Amino acid sequence: MNKGVIFIISGPSGSGKDTLMVELFKKCPEIKFSISSITRAMRVGEVEGVKYNFISKEQFEQMIKEDKLLEYNSYVGNYYGTPRKPVEDEIEKGNNILIEVDVNGAAQIKEKMPEAVSMFIMPPSFEELERRLSGRGTESEELIRKRMQSSLDEIKRASEYDYIIVNDDIATAVDDIISVMRSCQLRQEKQKHIIEEVLEKC
């Protein structure tokens, strides 16, 4: 049996990544999702084990020490990262798994697992990015400017990714992601067994 494929998805604030992920999993419920480990407190509406595993700082530092993370980082005093084992288990079973991370996390995973396939979600234009970030209407000018800068900093690293998905129309962007995933299964190195099966009979 073939190993599954690891897909990395990143998208800056304003790329519409969150809505895109919801629509993607509606359309492809069979895709596994990598649950991040984080040390910050649970927020209202969050459920343990859905998007995050909430663990202590001590547990997280133990995982770092034992090299049990594919990537990790810290943000305002808390750690967040991707545990290695669940990802490895799924691909061993032949399942594809999606890891949602930022540009730093994506670079760390690619270094450890160069066979992972990475996708970057882009806003269709600078103007649309501005519109999306300011359109929420509830934040200060200052916060919007900060978000914009952080998005642009991530977009500057988009060329590190294998595929760029432009999220103008959500349905099209979801189909683009599905095409990338499907095409990766069709790569020669993933289809070797079929060639061998046919040839061993002759």
Contacting positions for a second copy (CB under 8 A) = 120, 122-127, 129, 152, 155-156, 158-159, 161-166, 175-176, 178-180, 182-184, 186-188, 191-192, 194-195, 197-199, 201-202
* Residue with Cβ nearer a second copy (18 or 168): 168
Between residues 63 and 129, which has the closer beta carbon with respect to a second copy?
129
Q: How far is the CB of 77 from a second copy (least distance, A)?
A: 30
Q: What's the min distance (Å) between Cβ of 132 and a second copy?
A: 12
The least CB distance from residue 92 to a second copy, in Å, is: 22
Query: Of the two residues 24 and 38, which places its CB atom closer to a second copy in the complex?
Result: 24
CA atoms within 13 A of residue 172's CA, in its CB half-sphere: 8
CB under 8 Å to 105, separation ≥6 — which residues?
8, 10, 71, 72, 73, 81, 82, 99
Q: Are strands 69-75 and 78-83 parallel, antiparallel or unpaired?
A: antiparallel
List the one residue out of 58, 88, 52 whose CA is nearest residue 70.
88
Distances in whole angstroms, Cα of residue 187 to Cα of each of 32, 179, 193: 20, 13, 12
Q: How far apart are CA 95 and CA 98, in angstroms?
A: 10
Nearer to a second copy, 66 or 189 (CB): 189
Question: What is the nearest approach in angstroms of a second copy to the Cβ of residue 30?
Answer: 16
